[in-house]
Amino acid sequence: MRLLIIDDEEDICDLIAEIAARHDLETRTISDAENVSGILSDFIPDIIMMDLMMPGIDGVELLRLLSEKSKQAKLCLISGSDSRVLNSARRLGSAHGLDVIAALEKPLSIQTLDEFFKQAVSTARPADGDNHGHALANGQFMLYYQPIVDLKTRAIKGVEALARWQHPERGVLMPDKFLDKITNGGLMQALTDFVIASAIKQAGVWDKAGHKLTLSINVSASSLLDLSMPDKIADMCNKYNVPHDRLILEVTETEAMRDVTRTMDVLLRMRLRNIGISIDDFGTGHSSLRELQRMPFSELKIDRNFISDSTKSADAAVIVASMIDLGHNLGLRIIAEGIEDEATWDLMRDKGCDYAQGFFIGHPMTASDLDIWIEKWRGQS
């Protein structure tokens, strides 16, 4: 794998290169930003580490350049400025479509770099040679479930099903390692079918055990163009004796709004069968108020970046509060995703948000771990 370091301080480049070598990375360093464009034409990096403050070019300009020349690389930002500057730059990078995986503050320690490379190498390693279709057909995909709870009463509302690939050599892989390949390989329909079947079957098991949980399933835009989806889901619910209104489909805001007219067709058929529709990662797309009001959503999930910022920034807190009010005025239930600590839990509850999801409540886990989690949570509530 290849690493490009863009930093005008040579001793920093040397230090990073030395640690990178331990992780078998082929490294190029560049200390004058004018040459970045040139180097990218014959060296295609998997990972780029860039200093935000370089003479001759500022970080903002460099981010724009990278978004044009090297979108596929994983990006790590480095800066001597405080964490707020780093965080804004991080958001700007993401807005340019760059895959910003870390933001490190100078001075850099050997340990920080070592941990960064361990993580980055496993994230950036291409899954080529893996046969996704084969893995799907051979039962290597499985579902983890993450709890969603009521912010006022702490009652367990339900779970979100999240796909995992139990890879025979590489262990449990997260969606960011396989979803693109699944989509590009034309396998999304097959994955969605698997997810629907196993999640509804599991909901039936929980139902029998007396756990009336809602079950949220993520679906991609392509599934929303599949006119047979509503019946497929309704049939599966009937087969496992799961009431239709226990099921919620999550569609990201960006995907739902890409082609409102066509998406509306399938969404409406779902709602007519009493299946819920949730707008996922809300705040990252560009829906107009009119579209929001027209689409038959039942829930709104505020993107976790807004949630995690809300205890640190007054602006973010105002934005989240407005989203909650907006959603409520449209008759939607609101879920805050990505709640990682008690302060965020308290803030969301005080702002009137309905439900909470996040590591503070519970990580995504296997169905049997969820049984244990339910006992524990009820014991504490």
195 binds ligand C2E (CB under 6 A): yes
Residues 6+ apart with CB under 8 A from 12: 51, 78, 106, 108
Residues 204-233 that bind ligand C2E (CB under 6 A): 218-220
**SS in 3 state form for 313-366?**
CHHHHHHHHHHHHHHHHCCCEEEEECCCCHHHHHHHHHCCCCEEECCCCCCCEC
Residue keyed to tokens 């055990």 = 209
299 binds Mg ion (CB under 5 A): no
Distance linking the first and last C-alpha atoms of the chain: 48
**Choosing among ligand C2E, Mg ion, none, which partner's interface includes residue 123 (Cβ < 5 to 8 Å by kind)?**
none
Smallest separation, CB 27 to ligand C2E (Å): 29
Binding mask 203-222 for Mg ion (x = CB under 5 A): ---------------x----
What does residue 365 show for φ and ψ, rounded to 5 degrees? -150, 170
- Residue type at 159? V
Binding mask 154-183 for ligand C2E (x = CB under 6 A): --------xx----------xx---x----
H or E element at residue 30: strand 26-30
Smallest separation, CB 38 to Mg ion (Å): 39
280 binds Mg ion (CB under 5 A): yes
**Choosing among ligand C2E, Mg ion, none, which partner's interface includes residue 53 (Cβ < 5 to 8 Å by kind)?**
none
Residues 270-289 that bind ligand C2E (CB under 6 A): 280-281
Residues 305-344 that bind ligand C2E (CB under 6 A): 337-340
348 vs 309: CA distance, rounded Å: 12
362 vs 373: CA distance, rounded Å: 8
For ligand C2E, give the closer residue by CB, 174 or 317. Answer: 174
* Radius of gyration of the chain, Cα coordinates, nearest whole angstrom: 22
Beta bridge partners of 252: 280
- With 0-12 / 13-18 / 19 or more C-beta atoms within 10 angstroms meaning exposed / middle / buried, residue 107 is exposed
253 binds Mg ion (CB under 5 A): no
**Choosing among ligand C2E, Mg ion, none, which partner's interface includes residue 173 (Cβ < 5 to 8 Å by kind)?**
none
What does residue 225 show for φ and ψ, rounded to 5 degrees? -95, -5
**Choosing among ligand C2E, Mg ion, none, which partner's interface includes residue 51 (Cβ < 5 to 8 Å by kind)?**
none
250 binds Mg ion (CB under 5 A): yes
Binding site for ligand C2E (CB under 6 A): 146, 162-163, 174-175, 179, 191, 195, 218-220, 250, 280-281, 304, 337-340, 357-359, 364
Chain contacts with Mg ion (rule: CB under 5 A): 218, 250, 280-281
